[in-house]
Amino acid sequence: MATPSYIVDAFASTRFTGNPAAVCLLDEPAEAGWMQAVAAEMNLSETAFLVQQADGFNLRWFTPVTEVDLCGHATLASAHVLWETDRLKPDETARFHTRSGLLTAKRAGDWIELDFPATPPEAIEPPEGLSDLLGSVPRYVGRTPFDLLLELTDEEELHELMPDFAGLSRLPVRGFIVTTRSNDARYDFQSRFFAPATGVNEDPVTGSAHCALAPYWAGHLGKSKLTGYQASARGGIVKVETIGDRVKLHGQALTTLRGELV
Protein backbone atom coordinates (compact mmCIF):
# COMPACT_ATOMS: atom_id res chain seq x y z
CA MET A 1 0.00 0.00 0.00
CA ALA A 2 1.32 3.43 -0.95
CA THR A 3 2.25 5.81 1.87
CA PRO A 4 1.73 9.55 1.22
CA SER A 5 5.06 11.25 1.83
CA TYR A 6 6.28 14.84 1.74
CA ILE A 7 9.45 16.88 2.08
CA VAL A 8 8.96 20.18 3.89
CA ASP A 9 11.41 23.01 4.48
CA ALA A 10 10.82 23.87 8.15
CA PHE A 11 11.79 27.13 9.86
CA ALA A 12 11.90 28.59 6.36
CA SER A 13 10.12 31.45 4.60
CA THR A 14 11.60 30.62 1.16
CA ARG A 15 12.22 27.21 -0.39
CA PHE A 16 15.58 25.51 -0.01
CA THR A 17 16.33 27.31 3.25
CA GLY A 18 15.62 26.18 6.81
CA ASN A 19 15.68 22.47 7.62
CA PRO A 20 14.15 19.88 5.25
CA ALA A 21 12.19 17.07 6.90
CA ALA A 22 10.39 14.10 5.39
CA VAL A 23 6.86 13.38 6.63
CA CYS A 24 5.23 9.97 6.09
CA LEU A 25 1.50 9.49 6.81
CA LEU A 26 0.89 5.88 7.86
CA ASP A 27 -2.43 4.04 7.98
CA GLU A 28 -1.21 1.91 10.89
CA PRO A 29 1.87 1.60 13.11
CA ALA A 30 4.99 0.34 11.34
CA GLU A 31 7.98 -1.65 12.53
CA ALA A 32 10.87 0.44 13.80
CA GLY A 33 13.30 -1.30 11.45
CA TRP A 34 11.23 -0.33 8.41
CA MET A 35 10.95 3.29 9.58
CA GLN A 36 14.71 3.41 10.16
CA ALA A 37 15.31 2.07 6.65
CA VAL A 38 13.01 4.71 5.18
CA ALA A 39 14.81 7.45 7.12
CA ALA A 40 18.15 6.19 5.82
CA GLU A 41 16.73 6.24 2.28
CA MET A 42 15.42 9.79 2.74
CA ASN A 43 18.86 10.77 4.13
CA LEU A 44 17.55 13.97 5.73
CA SER A 45 18.33 14.98 9.30
CA GLU A 46 14.86 13.76 10.35
CA THR A 47 12.00 11.72 8.90
CA ALA A 48 8.68 11.88 10.77
CA PHE A 49 6.11 9.06 10.84
CA LEU A 50 2.52 9.81 11.83
CA VAL A 51 -0.38 7.50 12.66
CA GLN A 52 -3.79 8.98 13.44
CA GLN A 53 -5.42 7.98 16.72
CA ALA A 54 -8.56 9.02 18.57
CA ASP A 55 -7.11 12.15 20.20
CA GLY A 56 -4.42 13.20 17.73
CA PHE A 57 -1.46 11.54 16.06
CA ASN A 58 1.31 9.25 17.21
CA LEU A 59 4.57 10.82 16.03
CA ARG A 60 8.06 9.28 15.84
CA TRP A 61 11.26 10.80 14.47
CA PHE A 62 14.26 9.06 12.88
CA THR A 63 17.61 10.38 11.69
CA PRO A 64 19.38 8.29 9.01
CA VAL A 65 20.89 6.16 11.80
CA THR A 66 18.71 6.31 14.94
CA GLU A 67 15.36 7.22 16.52
CA VAL A 68 15.35 10.40 18.62
CA ASP A 69 13.29 11.56 21.59
CA LEU A 70 12.51 15.12 20.49
CA CYS A 71 12.59 16.97 17.17
CA GLY A 72 11.23 20.44 16.48
CA HIS A 73 11.56 20.93 12.74
CA ALA A 74 10.00 17.58 11.79
CA THR A 75 7.10 18.31 14.17
CA LEU A 76 6.63 21.69 12.51
CA ALA A 77 6.74 19.97 9.11
CA SER A 78 4.21 17.35 10.26
CA ALA A 79 1.71 19.96 11.43
CA HIS A 80 2.15 21.88 8.17
CA VAL A 81 1.35 18.73 6.14
CA LEU A 82 -1.75 17.92 8.22
CA TRP A 83 -3.22 21.36 7.52
CA GLU A 84 -2.09 21.47 3.89
CA THR A 85 -3.73 18.09 3.13
CA ASP A 86 -6.95 19.00 5.01
CA ARG A 87 -6.42 16.24 7.56
CA LEU A 88 -6.85 19.06 10.08
CA LYS A 89 -9.02 22.15 9.73
CA PRO A 90 -7.14 25.48 9.58
CA ASP A 91 -8.19 26.44 13.13
CA GLU A 92 -7.67 22.94 14.58
CA THR A 93 -4.76 22.25 16.95
CA ALA A 94 -2.41 19.43 15.98
CA ARG A 95 -1.85 17.02 18.89
CA PHE A 96 1.18 14.74 18.77
CA HIS A 97 1.85 11.86 21.17
CA THR A 98 5.61 11.33 21.33
CA ARG A 99 8.48 9.99 23.42
CA SER A 100 8.60 13.48 24.97
CA GLY A 101 4.91 13.51 25.89
CA LEU A 102 2.12 15.51 24.28
CA LEU A 103 3.28 18.20 21.87
CA THR A 104 0.90 20.60 20.17
CA ALA A 105 0.98 22.92 17.18
CA LYS A 106 -1.39 25.63 16.06
CA ARG A 107 -1.48 28.18 13.29
CA ALA A 108 -0.65 31.79 14.14
CA GLY A 109 -1.08 33.79 10.94
CA ASP A 110 1.72 32.82 8.55
CA TRP A 111 3.57 31.10 11.38
CA ILE A 112 3.16 27.83 13.27
CA GLU A 113 3.45 27.78 17.06
CA LEU A 114 4.80 24.64 18.74
CA ASP A 115 4.38 23.96 22.46
CA PHE A 116 7.44 22.04 23.69
CA PRO A 117 9.07 21.21 27.05
CA ALA A 118 11.82 23.58 28.19
CA THR A 119 15.21 21.90 28.64
CA PRO A 120 17.37 24.53 30.39
CA PRO A 121 21.06 23.65 30.72
CA GLU A 122 22.88 23.15 34.00
CA ALA A 123 26.50 24.35 34.18
CA ILE A 124 29.13 21.59 34.17
CA GLU A 125 32.88 21.30 33.87
CA PRO A 126 33.87 20.91 30.21
CA PRO A 127 34.66 17.33 29.16
CA GLU A 128 38.37 16.72 28.66
CA GLY A 129 39.49 17.72 25.19
CA LEU A 130 36.23 19.49 24.29
CA SER A 131 37.87 22.76 23.25
CA ASP A 132 40.27 20.96 20.91
CA LEU A 133 37.42 19.01 19.30
CA LEU A 134 35.24 22.09 18.98
CA GLY A 135 38.00 24.38 17.78
CA SER A 136 37.12 27.04 20.35
CA VAL A 137 37.24 27.62 24.11
CA PRO A 138 33.64 28.17 25.30
CA ARG A 139 32.92 30.71 28.02
CA TYR A 140 30.09 28.48 29.34
CA VAL A 141 29.35 24.76 29.16
CA GLY A 142 25.99 23.37 30.26
CA ARG A 143 24.24 20.02 30.05
CA THR A 144 20.62 19.55 28.95
CA PRO A 145 18.75 16.22 28.97
CA PHE A 146 20.02 15.66 25.40
CA ASP A 147 22.94 17.92 24.54
CA LEU A 148 25.78 20.16 25.66
CA LEU A 149 25.14 23.90 25.32
CA LEU A 150 28.27 25.95 24.69
CA GLU A 151 28.38 29.75 24.67
CA LEU A 152 31.17 31.44 22.72
CA THR A 153 32.29 35.04 23.13
CA ASP A 154 32.55 35.89 19.44
CA GLU A 155 29.86 35.60 16.75
CA GLU A 156 32.43 35.47 13.93
CA GLU A 157 34.04 32.49 15.63
CA LEU A 158 30.64 30.77 15.74
CA HIS A 159 30.24 31.22 11.99
CA GLU A 160 33.74 29.94 11.23
CA LEU A 161 33.73 26.85 13.48
CA MET A 162 34.95 23.64 11.82
CA PRO A 163 34.72 21.01 14.59
CA ASP A 164 36.27 17.56 14.68
CA PHE A 165 33.04 15.65 14.05
CA ALA A 166 34.57 12.21 14.54
CA GLY A 167 35.90 13.29 17.92
CA LEU A 168 32.65 14.94 19.01
CA SER A 169 30.71 11.80 18.07
CA ARG A 170 32.55 9.87 20.78
CA LEU A 171 31.26 12.08 23.62
CA PRO A 172 28.15 10.67 25.39
CA VAL A 173 25.60 13.30 24.28
CA ARG A 174 23.15 13.64 21.40
CA GLY A 175 24.67 16.87 20.14
CA PHE A 176 26.29 20.24 20.74
CA ILE A 177 24.38 23.54 20.80
CA VAL A 178 26.90 26.33 20.17
CA THR A 179 25.62 29.87 20.65
CA THR A 180 26.50 33.55 21.03
CA ARG A 181 24.69 36.84 21.45
CA SER A 182 23.84 38.27 18.06
CA ASN A 183 25.58 41.30 16.58
CA ASP A 184 22.73 41.49 14.06
CA ALA A 185 19.95 43.63 15.56
CA ARG A 186 17.28 41.41 13.97
CA TYR A 187 18.15 38.56 16.35
CA ASP A 188 18.79 38.19 20.07
CA PHE A 189 21.12 35.21 19.72
CA GLN A 190 22.61 32.95 17.08
CA SER A 191 23.48 29.26 17.18
CA ARG A 192 24.70 26.19 15.35
CA PHE A 193 23.98 22.55 16.17
CA PHE A 194 26.28 19.57 15.66
CA ALA A 195 25.09 15.97 16.20
CA PRO A 196 27.58 13.61 14.54
CA ALA A 197 26.67 10.74 16.89
CA THR A 198 23.19 10.66 15.31
CA GLY A 199 24.48 10.78 11.75
CA VAL A 200 23.95 14.54 11.37
CA ASN A 201 27.23 16.47 11.46
CA GLU A 202 25.45 19.84 11.33
CA ASP A 203 21.69 20.26 11.51
CA PRO A 204 20.42 23.25 9.49
CA VAL A 205 17.80 24.48 12.02
CA THR A 206 17.07 22.64 15.26
CA GLY A 207 13.80 23.25 17.08
CA SER A 208 14.67 21.05 20.06
CA ALA A 209 17.92 22.97 20.62
CA HIS A 210 15.84 26.10 21.08
CA CYS A 211 14.09 24.43 24.02
CA ALA A 212 17.43 24.97 25.79
CA LEU A 213 18.43 28.21 24.06
CA ALA A 214 15.15 29.95 24.98
CA PRO A 215 15.44 29.65 28.79
CA TYR A 216 19.22 30.15 28.66
CA TRP A 217 19.05 33.45 26.80
CA ALA A 218 15.86 34.55 28.58
CA GLY A 219 17.86 34.41 31.83
CA HIS A 220 20.82 36.28 30.35
CA LEU A 221 18.90 38.92 28.41
CA GLY A 222 16.04 39.45 30.85
CA LYS A 223 13.13 38.88 28.46
CA SER A 224 10.94 35.89 27.70
CA LYS A 225 10.29 36.56 23.99
CA LEU A 226 13.37 36.23 21.78
CA THR A 227 14.34 35.71 18.17
CA GLY A 228 17.07 33.24 17.31
CA TYR A 229 18.92 32.65 14.07
CA GLN A 230 20.56 29.30 13.38
CA ALA A 231 23.62 30.19 11.32
CA SER A 232 24.00 27.06 9.20
CA ALA A 233 24.59 27.16 5.45
CA ARG A 234 20.82 27.08 4.87
CA GLY A 235 19.94 29.24 7.88
CA GLY A 236 16.63 29.68 9.66
CA ILE A 237 14.72 31.87 12.12
CA VAL A 238 13.11 30.51 15.29
CA LYS A 239 11.05 32.84 17.48
CA VAL A 240 10.82 31.59 21.06
CA GLU A 241 8.90 32.37 24.23
CA THR A 242 9.63 30.80 27.62
CA ILE A 243 6.56 30.18 29.80
CA GLY A 244 7.38 28.29 32.99
CA ASP A 245 8.59 24.81 32.07
CA ARG A 246 7.40 25.13 28.46
CA VAL A 247 8.77 26.86 25.37
CA LYS A 248 6.72 28.20 22.47
CA LEU A 249 8.61 27.84 19.18
CA HIS A 250 7.43 29.82 16.16
CA GLY A 251 8.46 28.96 12.61
CA GLN A 252 7.30 28.85 9.02
CA ALA A 253 7.21 25.93 6.57
CA LEU A 254 6.96 25.24 2.84
CA THR A 255 6.33 21.95 1.03
CA THR A 256 8.93 21.15 -1.63
CA LEU A 257 7.94 17.60 -2.64
CA ARG A 258 4.82 15.41 -2.62
CA GLY A 259 4.88 11.69 -3.42
CA GLU A 260 4.27 8.14 -2.25
CA LEU A 261 6.37 5.42 -0.69
CA VAL A 262 5.57 2.18 -2.55
92 is catalytic: no
Cα dihedral value 120, 198, 43, 135, nearest 10: 80
Distance (Å, whole) CA 79 – CA 211 = 18
Does the CA dihedral 65-69-74-78 come out positive or negative?
positive
Q: Using the Cα atoms of residue 86, residue 97, residue 176 and residue 216 in order, give the sign of their dihedral.
A: positive
Query: Is the Cβ–Cβ distance between 173 and 146 less than 8 Å?
Result: yes
CA torsion 246-251-254-260 (nearest 10°) is -10
Task: Output DSSP code: residue 80.
Answer: H
What residue type is assigned to position 167 of the chain? G
CA-nearest of 205, 254, 206 to 6 is 254
**Which one-letter amino acid corresponds to residue 32?**
A
Query: Exposed (0-12), middle (13-18) or buried (19+): which is 75, by Cβ within 10 Å?
Result: buried
Catalytic residue among 31, 41, 46, 260: 46
Q: Which ranges of 92-232 does DSSP label H, i.e. alpha helix?
A: 130-134, 155-160, 165-168, 210-221
Q: Give catalytic residues, as residue numbers.
A: 46
